[in-house]
Structure 1
Amino acid sequence: VWRVKKQVQMNITPTGVVLLQELERFNLLVIRIKKTLELLRKAIAGEIGMDNVLDNIANSLFNGLLPNDWRKLAPATCKQLGSWMEHLQNRSTQFKYWAMSGEPLVIWLSGLHIPQSYLTALVQMACRKNGWPLDRSTLYTCVTSYLDPDDVEERPPTGCYIQGLFLEGARWDMEIMQLARSHPKILVEDLPILSVVPIEVHRLKLQNTFRSPVYTTSLRRNAMGVGLVFEADLATTEDISHWVLQGVCLTLNRD
C-alpha cells in the first residue's frame, strides 16, 4: 500500500483513493488468512492449543466452506471455498495491474470490496471536470457490443467499462441490443460489457428502458437495503412491469 501511495501521491484522483482503500482492506484479509493458517498448522502439529476459532476454520476448510473468520474481512459472497479462492486470486491480479500499470480499461467491479465507492468516484471526477453540482449528478449505463475485455482498446471519454455482470430472469439479445425472454432452463446469463457514464440528472431522459437493480450476490439485498450497488439501464420494448414480475436483476457474482 505504501509503495502505491508513493506512486500516486503526486496526482491523486478519486479513483486512486478508491484503489488505496481497496488495497488496505485486501491486505487485512490476506494477513488474516496467512496468520490463521500458520496458527492452524502449529495447532495440528501440537505446538499450540486448538481454540474455537481455529477449530471452526479447520472444519470449514475440511468441508470446502469459507471460514467465518475470513468472511468477516471479505466482500459479501455466497461462494464455496474453491471458487472463493479463485475469486481472491483474480482480485489480486486486478489490484496488481491497477497499481503497476494504471487503471484498467475495463473494471471488474466484483473484485472491489466496496464497488459503490468506485462508481461514486467516477461521478466526482466528472463533476470536477465539468463543474457539475454533485447532488444533481448520476450515472447512466449502456450495454455495449463487447463480449471480451480484450476487445476494448481505449477507455471512454468519461466513466468506465464494467465486466463480469450476470443477468437473472432474462437474457440480452445481441442482435437487437435489448432485453429478451430467457431461454428455457437458463436462469442466469453473462451480460456484455457495460458502459457507465456520469451525467447531470436533468439531462437524463430515458425511454423504453428498464432500470435493473444491480446486487452484489444472488441473495440480492436485505431489509436494510444492503446489497444493492446501483441501477443499470437496459433497453426494452416490453412493458416494464413484465420484467419486474420476472424478477429481473443483475448481480456482480455468480454462486
Structure 2
Amino acid sequence: MRQEVTRANKGWALDTVNLHNKVLKQAQEEITASPTEGVYVYGLYLEGASWDRKNVHLIESSPKVLFTPLPVIHMFAINSTAPMDPKLYICPIYKKPRRTDLNYITAVVLHTVQPPDHWIMRGVALLCDIK
C-alpha cells in the first residue's frame, strides 16, 4: 500500500510514507462504497480490551468477555516524518491467538483515555481469527 500511494503521488518518497489508520463508527454492513484513498479493514477482534463505539476509544473489557469485534478500520498512507502521538496505543495485529512472529501482521494505532502502558500491561492485541 505504501508503494502504491508513493507511485500515485508525485514527489513523495517511499521513506517518508507511513501507514496510518482511523477506526470508524460504522460496522461493515453500513459501508456501501470503497474509500477514495486506502482500504477498509474489518473482521478483527480485540483481545484484552473492549471498544467504545460512541466515543471511539479503548475501554476495559466486560467480565467473562474474551473477544470484542472491532468496527471497520480505514487504513491509509500519509507523507510525514513526524513521530506518532505518544498518547495513542500501538496495537499489534496477529493472524491467530497464538502470538508469535509467524502470526504477526502489522500494528495499528488506537485512541485511548488511559496511557498506552495500561493496555500494554493487559496484553491488548487485535486478532484476525479467534479459534
TM normalised by structure 1 equals: 0.49
| Alignment of 1:169 onto 2:35 | no
Relative contact order, CA 8 A, sep 6+: which one is greater?
2
Which ranges of structure 2 fall in alignment gaps of 5 or more residues? none
Distance 1:181 1:227 in 2: 25
Matching residue of 2:102: 226
Deviations 1:129-175, CA, capped at 9 Å, x for gaps? 1132112222111110111x231122222111011001000000012
Distance 1:226 1:203 in 2: 29
Matching residue of 1:216: 95
Structure 1 pair 141/204, CA: closer, same or farther in 2 (3 Å)?
farther
Matching residue of 2:125: 249
Matching residue of 1:134: 14
Q: Secondary structure at 2:81's aligned position in 1?
A: helix
Matching residue of 1:153: 32
Distance 2:94 2:84 in 1: 24
Matching residue of 2:69: 190
AA matched with 1:191: L
Q: CA deviation at 1:208?
A: 2.6
Q: Secondary structure at 1:183's aligned position in 2?
A: coil
Which ranges of structure 1 fall in alignment gaps of 5 or more residues? 1-121
TM normalised by structure 2 equals: 0.91
Q: CA deviation at 1:217?
A: 0.6
Q: CA deviation at 1:204?
A: 5.8
Among the aligned pairs, what percent are the same residue?
A: 28
Q: Secondary structure at 2:25's aligned position in 1?
A: coil
Number of residue-to-residue matches in the alignment: 130
Matching residue of 1:111: none
Q: CA deviation at 1:176?
A: 1.1
Looking at secondary structure, tell me which structure has more strand per residue.
Answer: 2
AA matched with 1:237: V
Q: CA deviation at 1:210?
A: 0.3
Q: Secondary structure at 1:202's aligned position in 2?
A: coil
